[in-house]
């Protein structure tokens, strides 16, 4: 189909999410690469913002989706029919999740999971105030947007948002603000859109302790960090913390829309009581998405992608730090596993980096709330050769920016 016509129809009929679209017409995708309308290959180092953990169009995913779509798709509103892909995926997740988190409520998006977690905490505690962190991003539904850690994004909707008390991420003193009025605290174990911010040692453990002392639910938002991104199934394992609830999404569906709220069965069951159907979703846990999600988990395990994320994450982190040591455009490099951020000296430099890398065939992007941070989050199937290719392009672009 004609590229220019597609672009025109895109701008006319598809609601835009930003005033500066990439205008990148995708022809196909495979592994770590995207192909544009001209057939040119682009190395994908953002993986659809931590979605394509097992790469694009993995044969196991394609096979699972094809097989399930031939059996059945949607049959009944979630929770009414026993659907094999849901059951198998939930059981597999329960094996990998922190001990005690043995039940999954499926959704289509991470924001839905956020709202469900907040509703459940409010229902069980009878409290109406929540805590979130400056720099946080948990989605854009009303409940999730209430926890948006940037005032400019909350301001247009302030009159309809929940009551949220914001804390400074990584500041131990602020944990004292979690008192007996708080229903739940929601936190990203590593802040993604805030600029790939890693918590100081002991911070998440202290947060857990304060929540337990005050009877507040601790909700881990693992939408970006879950399913291998940090080199562990979940960041909760990496930081040795056991939250009361976990929200997941993005990579969970192997490229298909799928998210979930993970928690103890006796807690999640409260959605089915007082009153029954107190939370429900039509397409959450869609059987085709669940089949894709189950296949993705098998790929992560069988191809040992957790250890690959650790090893290549260390290689990239070390390499980028070496580059930064001799380049004044990069202020700091930080990350865990294959979730890495390059903090540039300015948002302008970061934007130039993204655009010039794209011109050279490497897809990067800045983080939403820290526009001076360039995100590095390739598929977990990435190899050393692709990493070296990306590093070469980044070095060439940095030289261009510097000159």
Nearest CA among 145, 211, 222 for reference residue 184: 211
Q: 3-54+304-402 has which CATH code?
A: 3.90.1150.10
pTM, two decimals, is 0.96
Predicted local distance difference test score (pLDDT) of residue 211: 98
Residue 337 in contact with residue 310, Cβ under 8 Å?
yes
As a whole number of angstroms, the distance between CA 42 and CA 28 comes to 11
271 DSSP assignment: G
60-302: CATH topology: 3.40.640
The predicted model gives 85-103 an average pLDDT of 97
Average pLDDT, the chain: 96
Number of H helices, E strands in the chain: 14, 15
Where in the chain are the domains? 3-54+304-402, 60-302
Peptide bond between residue 213 and the one before it cis (omega within 30 degrees of 0): no
Within a 10 A sphere around the Cβ of 121, how many other Cβ atoms? 23
77 confidence band (pLDDT: 50, 70, 90): confident
pLDDT in tens, 345-395: 999 999 999 999 999 999 999 999 999 999 999 999 999 999 999 999 999
Nearest CA among 252, 258, 292 for reference residue 64: 292
pLDDT in tens, 283-299: 999 999 999 999 999 99
Angle at 147 between CA 143 and CA 152, to 5 degrees: 110
As a whole number of angstroms, the distance between CA 328 and CA 56 comes to 35
- Percentage of residues of the chain with pLDDT beyond 70: 99
12 confidence band (pLDDT: 50, 70, 90): confident
E strand or H helix that includes residue 214? helix 203-214
| Length of the chain measured in residues | 403
The predicted model gives 211-227 an average pLDDT of 98
60 confidence band (pLDDT: 50, 70, 90): very high
Judge whether residue 8 has pLDDT over 90. Answer: no
Nearest CA among 51, 170, 175, 188 for reference residue 114: 188
């Amino acid at each position: 189909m004609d590229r220019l016509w597609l672009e025109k129809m895109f701008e006319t009929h598809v609601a835009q999410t930003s005033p500066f679209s990439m205008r990148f017409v995708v022809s196909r995708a495979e592994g770590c690469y995207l192909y544009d309308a001209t057939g040119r290959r682009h190395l994908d180092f953002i993986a659809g913002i931590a979605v394509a953990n097992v790469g694009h169009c993995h044969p196991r995913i394609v096979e699972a989706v094809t097989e399930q779509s031939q059996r059945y798709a949607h049959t009944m509103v979630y929770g009414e029919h026993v659907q094999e892909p849901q059951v198998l995926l939930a059981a597999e997740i329960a094996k990998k999740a922190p001990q005690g988190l043995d039940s999954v409520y499926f959704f289509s998006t991470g924001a839905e999971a956020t709202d469900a977690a907040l509703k459940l905490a409010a229902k069980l505690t009878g409290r109406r105030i929540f805590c979130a962190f400056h720099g946080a991003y948990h989605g854009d539904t009303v409940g999730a947007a209430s926890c948006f850690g940037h005032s400019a994004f909350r301001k247009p909707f302030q009159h309809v948002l929940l009551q949220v008390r914001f804390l400074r991420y990584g500041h131990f003193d602020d944990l004292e603000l979690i008192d007996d009025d708080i229903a739940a605290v929601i936190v990203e174990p590593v802040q993604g859109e805030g600029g790939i911010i890693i918590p100081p040692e002991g911070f998440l453990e202290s947060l857990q302790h304060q929540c337990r002392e005050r009877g507040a639910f601790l909700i881990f938002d693992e939408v970006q960090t879950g399913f291998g991104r940090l080199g562990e199934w979940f960041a909760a394992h990496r930081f040795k913390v056991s939250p009361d609830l976990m929200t997941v999404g993005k990579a969970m569906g192997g490229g298909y829309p799928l998210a979930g709220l993970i928690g103890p069965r006796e807690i999640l069951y409260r959605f089915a009581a007082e009153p029954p159907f107190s939370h429900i979703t039509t397409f959450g846990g869609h059987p085709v998405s669940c089949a894709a999600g189950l296949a993705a988990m098998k790929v992560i395990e069988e191809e040992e992608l957790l250890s690959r994320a650790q090893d290549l994450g260390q290689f990239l982190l070390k390499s980028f730090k070496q580059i930064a040591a001799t380049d004044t455009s990069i202020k700091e490099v930080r990350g865990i596993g294959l979730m890495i951020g390059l903090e540039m000296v300015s948002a302008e430099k970061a934007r130039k980096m993204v655009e010039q890398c794209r011109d050279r065939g490497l897809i990067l992007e800045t983080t939403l709330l820290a526009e001076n941070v360039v995100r590095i989050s390739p598929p977990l199937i990435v190899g050393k050769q692709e990493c070296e290719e990306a590093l070469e392009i980044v070095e060439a672009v940095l030289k261009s920016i510097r000159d």
